[in-house]
Amino acid sequence: MAKEPEYLSPRISSELDDCSLPLTFDSYNRCSLSCRYCFSESFKSNNPMFAGKEIPLQKIDVGKFFNKIDGTGDKRSWTTHGDGARLYEHFFKNRFVLHWGGMADPFCYFERKNGIGYELLKGLAERNYPTLFSFKGPTVLDDKYLELFDQYKEQNNFAFQISIITADDAMGKRIEPGVPLPSERLRAMKVLSSMGYYTVLRLRPFIIGITDHSLDDLLIKAKEAGADGLSTEFFAMDGRCNAGMEKRFKEIQKLISCNDIFKYFRDLSPSERGTYRRLNRLVKERHVKKMYKFCLENDMVFACSDPDYKELSMSGCCCAMPENHPNPEMNNWSKNQLTYHLKEARKHYHRTGECKILEFDEVYGKYKTFMDDAALTHQNIGCTAYTYNIRTVITLREMLQSKWNNVNANSNPRNYLHGKIMPVGIDDAGKNLIYKYNPSEFEQRWADEGIDLTV
Amino acid sequence: MSIFDKKINVQDRFDKASKGKSNGETRVIEEALLKPNPIPDYTGDTPKHHSNLEYRLVNIAFKTDNDMKLVNDYVMTISESFKGEKYITDISLLIHIAKAIKKGWDVAEVLNTFFAEKKAEKEAING
């Protein structure tokens, strides 16, 4: 009998440049939900391995997963492309926060049918392992899951990001077919918050023309449901658009009442960022202002995963994990990334009037980490730009360094953050560019209106 | 001076223009008023190499096709990417030779050991 294909996870996020939670995990390779804006669907449908084919469902091997977490068992069986032992050394041994729900939903209908996630949850709870979930799926409210969360609530080793982009159930049905209604997800948020867990309104993607219509309502309802933080990022359009994606984008076009969504994104997205089109700051400002002010007034952590307004994050974790969670292990996420340092630069500017200098070694750290382990490089999709001989020796740090120093690269910090930090020269060793915080016009205007930008 | 200064009050202009407008009309106003500003060019110094890896990257050109074939057949495998770039992945032999010379060892003996180890590795992999 043929062996069932096994899904290999966790992996290291490709958003390493500004991600505090690079250890990302999914229990299945696919998600049963059908969100029209799904970025993961875009990536998977562009994978030549699956061109024109149905992607078969693959699941995690629970035993191997816990071998990696515990650093036990036959090391050959830890494999995530042969590097499970390295994940243990760099992450699990140090009890680094696991982010569950990167490319699929941990509580979608596949979980209700297969139950792999429940076994994993149980094991993580028994190990008191710090874990952040990102989800929309319904299974989280099934009795046995709630009983488990309730049983282990005193440990406080779980936190939950509940993904909701509109407060309007009717709109939810159209943009997220097959997904529990926004009101049901708010109920899940309330249940988990009431148990004492840290919860985040994951307002991602913020779709201008949809989300803004019920934004006030959504913010109030999330607060009432106990949300401790808000993490946002605006909808972006992948220029590598295949037929399936084009169909989805056209559905969104109708919902946002746009004549030509492709032109809209082309015209309003800075060209410096390349073909992954993200709208520019000017289009986003009024919405960000509303969210930021709401969080400020309601003692919630505002966090921005979007490259625009990322500097306004109140935590160095753009998934809105706080910097002072009562369980110290829940604060065990990486500060060696751009979000943390941009946030610090913004605070520094509004407290002292000085524009901070950002150096490569300061942002990504001077000490050896997983970023220096060439065996993990292949987990970053960016490595496919290199020939195999380079992939075998290049490290993640060197890949980051290459973007940092190449002002023509779309992912260079100057381009990606669209001028929020600007190169001002090279360091003494002549090895790396140095950048300087570049205050925006809006900061002065907001400060004049009395909005506190020192938080 | 901020690079965004020239767009002062664009938000006010947008607010006035979009007040009471429909969703569709707002999209049109966004396209008209909220186009991105280009970032000024950077003309200052840049590092010679974009990364430490680029510093270690060496270009090799063989004098003749035969030389290349010879190296490929007997010393180090030369691969070709789908774009036509040629590259060598395993350069451990060169490093072995350099180390041997540095330490004054018998290079021939080192090479014999190296190839014996490679053969054993291959046999282990192939069963």
Summarize pLDDT for A94-126 with one digit per residue, the tens. 999 999 999 999 999 999 999 999 999 999 999
Residue A5 lies in a domain: no
- Long-range interactions of A291-298: CB distance < 8 A, separation 24+: A291/A203, A291/A215, A291/A219, A291/A230, A291/A232, A292/A451, A293/A451, A294/A219, A294/A223, A294/A230, A295/A229, A295/A230, A296/A451, A296/A452, A296/A455, A298/A223
Distances A242 to A41, A49, A224, A237, A290 between C-alpha atoms, Å? 11, 15, 40, 12, 35
Same domain, A324 and A350: no
- In chain A, count H helices and then E strands: 18, 13
Of A271, A432, A440, which is closest to B2 when you measure between CB atoms? A440
Helix, strand, coil percentages in chain B from 3-state DSSP, rounded to 5: 55, 5, 40
Q: Do A415 and B39 touch (CB under 8 A)?
A: yes
Please say whether the beta carbons of A133 and A100 come within 8 A. Answer: yes
Co-location of A92 and A143 in the same domain: yes
AA identity, residue A67 = N
Domain annotation covers residue A287: yes
**CA A68 centroid distance within chain:** 23
List chain B residues with CB under 8 Å of A48: none
pLDDT-based confidence at B109, cuts 50/70/90?
confident
Measured CA to CA, the distance from residue A162 to residue A154 in angstroms comes to 21
Cβ neighbours for A72, distance < 8 A, ≥ 6 positions apart = A66
Q: How many Cα atoms occupy the beta-carbon half-sphere of A42 within 13 Å?
A: 18
Among candidate residues A455, A442, A453, the one with its CA nearest the CA of residue A281? A442
pLDDT in the model for residue B123: 83
Q: Are A395 and A372 in contact (CB under 8 A)?
A: yes
* Domain identity same for A318 and A373: no
Q: Which residues of B touch A252 (CB under 8 A)?
A: none
Q: Give the integer Cα–Cα distance in Å for A42 and A161.
A: 22
Residues A295-352: tens digit of each pLDDT: 999 999 999 999 999 999 999 999 999 999 999 999 999 999 999 999 999 999 999 9
Establish if A338 belongs to a structural domain.
no
For residues A302 and A353, state if they share a domain. Answer: no
pLDDT over 70 (residue A46): no
pLDDT tens digits, one per residue of A379-388? 888 888 899 8
pLDDT of residue A49 exceeding 80, the answer is: no
Domain identity same for A85 and A116: yes
Average pLDDT, chain A: 94
Q: How far apart are CA A314 and CA A291, in angstroms?
A: 12
Asked if residue A454 belongs to a domain, the reply is no
Give yes or no: residues A291 and A430 share one domain: no
Q: Convert the pLDDT of each residue in A146-157 to its tens digit.
A: 999 999 999 999
- Give the CATH number, domain containing residue A312: 3.80.30.30
- C-beta atoms surrounding B42 within 10 Å: 16
Question: Is the CB of residue B16 less than 8 Å away from at least one CB of chain A?
Answer: no
Whether A450 maps to a domain, the answer reads no
Helix A116-126 and helix A62-70: axis angle, to 10°?
20
Identify all chain B residues contacting A425, using CB atoms and an 8 Å cutoff. Answer: 44-45
Contact B79 A388 (CB under 8 A): yes
Task: Looking at the structure, tell me whether residues A369 and A327 fall in a common domain.
Answer: no
User: DSSP character for A430?
Assistant: S
Domain end residue (candidates: A302, A333, A364): A333
What chain A residue is nearest to B22 in terms of C-alpha separation?
Answer: A257
Residue A351 shares a structural domain with residue A323 = no
B36/A419 touch (CB, cutoff 8 Å), yes or no: no
Chain A CB contacts of B27 under 8 Å are 209, 256-259, 264
pLDDT of residue A427: 97
In terms of domains, do A326 and A358 share one?
no
Query: What are the beta bridge partners of residue A25?
Result: A100
3-state secondary structure of A417: coil
Domain boundary among A300, A315, A333: A333
Q: Is the pLDDT of residue A395 over 60?
A: yes
Rounded to the nearest integer, the mean pLDDT of chain B is 89
**Dist. CA A140–CA A203, nearest whole Å:** 19
Looking at A333, A363, A396, the residue that finishes a domain is A333
Same-domain check for residues A216 and A306: yes
What is the per-residue pLDDT for B49?
97
Whether B43 contacts chain A with CB within 8 A: no
Q: Do B3 and A422 touch (CB under 8 A)?
A: yes
| Residue A5: pLDDT band with limits 50, 70, 90 | confident
Question: Taking Cα atoms as reference points, which of A278, A421, A331, A349 lies closest to residue A95?
Answer: A331
Q: Which domain, by its residues, includes A276? A: 11-333
Q: H helices then E strands: how many in chain B?
A: 6, 2
Q: What is the pLDDT of residues A275-301, one digit of tens each?
A: 999 999 999 999 999 999 999 999 999
Mapped onto helix, strand or coil, the DSSP state of residue A125 is: helix
Q: How far apart are the first and last CA of chain B?
A: 68
**Does B50 contact A394 at a Cβ distance shorter than 8 Å?**
no
Cβ separation of B87 and A270 shorter than 8 Å? no
The CA distance from B116 to the nearest CA of chain A, in Å, is 23
| Distance in angstroms (rounded) separating the CA atoms of residues A31 and A39 | 12
pLDDT of amino acid A51: 64
Q: Which residues 48-87 of B are in CB contact (within 8 Å) with A?
A: 48-54, 56-57, 79, 81, 85, 87
Distance CA A92, CA A129 (A): 9
Report the residue from A259, A426, A442 with minimal CB separation from B46. Answer: A426
> Which of A176, A187, A173 has its CA nearest to residue A222?
A187
Is residue A451 in a domain? no
pTM of the predicted model, to two decimals?
A: 0.93
Q: Looking at CA atoms only, how far is residue B109 from chain A in angstroms?
A: 27
Please, which pLDDT band fits residue A415 given cuts at 50, 70 and 90?
very high
Find how far residue B56's CA is from the centre of its chain: 12
Instruction: Please report, as a single letter, which amino acid is at residue A264.
Output: Y
Give A188-210 pLDDT, tens digit per residue: 999 999 999 999 999 999 999 99
pLDDT in tens, B28-69: 999 999 999 999 999 999 999 999 999 999 999 999 999 999
Structure tokens at A97: 């926060």
pLDDT at B1: 42
- CA-CA distance, A278 to A270, in Å (whole number)? 7
Q: For chain A, how many structural domains are there in total?
A: 2
pLDDT given for residue A199 in this prediction? 98
Query: Other CB atoms closer than 10 Å to residue A4's CB: what's the count?
Result: 11
**Do A107 and A221 fall into the same domain?**
yes
Say yes or no: B24 contacts chain A, CB-CB below 8 A. yes
End-to-end C-alpha distance for chain A, whole angstroms: 59
**Are A328 and A409 contained in the same domain?**
no
Question: Residue A1 falls within a domain, yes or no?
Answer: no
Identify the residue with better confidence: A7 or A211.
A211
Lookup: tokens for B45 = 């110094």
Query: Would you say residue A296 lies in a domain?
Result: yes
